[in-house]
Amino acid sequence: MRDHQWRGFRSRAAALAACTLTAAVVATGATPAYAAADTQPPTVPGPITVAAIDTTWVELTWAASTDNVGVVRYPVSARFEDNGLTWSTDTNSIRITGLGPSRTYTFFVSALDAAGNGSPSTAPLRLTMPPGDDQPPGAPGQPVAFDVTATVVRLRWAHSVDNVVLERYEVFRVGADGALTLVRDVSQYPPNNSAQISGLTPNTTYTFVVRARDEVGLLSPLSAPITVTTLPPPPSCSVRSTVGQWPDGFVARLAVTNTGSTPIDGWTMSWRFYAGQQLRSLWGAEVVDRDSSYLRVRNVRHNGLIPPGGTVSLGVIASGSQTPQEVTVNGGVCEVADE
């Protein structure tokens, strides 16, 4: 064989071997060397269409993207309320399971090539799943009033039980004729079983009930009612405090005087109390609740009545340096008394 013929044979053999190697790399899913120099993204996939659907799954398909090298993957995403879901497929279709009946999802598809270049997403597909729920929620628990002022009532109740998922609670005021007036909608994203009812009239009796609604719109029976009387208008009061402090704590004695002309019959008192503080001891009152800024207490059996000009005394030992300030009685801010 002549030398130039042998060199040509070796060149063709080398080229064939290179082609075989490239094909092997692509076939095994590895990124070929030339993909690293690829900066051109794939085209946008075609519109998403529904190929098949049931109450908890859907099969989606779309026109394939094109790319100068090749599309390797289609990321698929969905939104439901504030939640995001993601999937991936190497074909132009996907079957997605574990969805909720009657829920509305918004789907998006994009394309990726071997170099990681991504296409823009398709136009969104907004899809409401078929209803698969014919069972209404159970009745919520009877509401309990855990904080009452002259114009505000705070309620909490035991959650309803539903076979799929709750969407919201509806809180109603019950009129003297039995008519229901919606006063609060309580969304269940995230779950919540309490509500604050504001704008009420002082010294007035109200009745409330709660109802649950699921995502299909099925309604629970009404809860058992609760009847609660708001407090009289905020009283006039003054507060005198005696405080002893040490490096990381204090003892405070409060003397709260009714400076109005009507008796205070039952009281709830609050004052500044930060989240990091620890309550060590309390006398003359009992704790109602606390949040990140305030401690709420109420009278004990022997000191609920404060006549005009009368004074109630209580004390607290706690950690921290924030002593009782901004003292309120039944929603009325007490003036700081002169020493």
Token reading at 335 = 């003036």
The answer to whether residue 271 is domain-embedded is yes
The answer to whether residue 162 is domain-embedded is yes
Q: State how many domains the chain has.
A: 4
Phi, psi values for residue 100, rounded to 5°? -100, 135
Do 19 and 103 fall into the same domain?
no
3-state secondary structure of 265: strand
Do 58 and 7 fall into the same domain?
no
pTM for the predicted model, two decimal places: 0.50
The answer to whether residue 137 is domain-embedded is no
Do 11 and 54 fall into the same domain?
no
Token reading at 127 = 């899809």
Do 178 and 255 fall into the same domain?
no
The answer to whether residue 134 is domain-embedded is no
Q: Which DSSP helix (H) or strand (E) runs through 19?
A: helix 3-27
Please, what is the end-to-end C-alpha distance for the chain in angstroms? 120
In DSSP notation, 221-289 reads PPPPPEEEEPPPSPPPEEEEEEEEEETTEEEEEEEEEE-SSS-EES-EEEEE--TT--EEEEESSEEEE
What DSSP designation does 233 have?
S
Do 87 and 60 fall into the same domain?
yes
Domain containing 191 equals 144-229
Per-residue pLDDT, 216: 80
Per-residue pLDDT, 170: 98
Do 118 and 166 fall into the same domain?
no
3-state secondary structure of 275: coil
Do 15 and 52 fall into the same domain?
no
Q: Are 153 and 230 in contact (CB under 8 A)?
A: yes
The answer to whether residue 267 is domain-embedded is yes
Which CATH number is 282's domain given? 2.60.40.290
The answer to whether residue 190 is domain-embedded is yes
In angstroms, rounded to a whole number, what is the distance separating the alpha carbons of residues 166 and 224?
Answer: 19
The answer to whether residue 138 is domain-embedded is no
The answer to whether residue 184 is domain-embedded is yes
Given a cut of 70, the residues of the chain with pLDDT beneath it are 1-36, 338-339
Do 269 and 289 fall into the same domain?
yes
In angstroms, rounded to a whole number, what is the distance separating the alpha carbons of residues 159 and 191?
Answer: 9
Do 122 and 178 fall into the same domain?
no
Which CATH number is 170's domain given? 2.60.40.10
Do 51 and 98 fall into the same domain?
yes
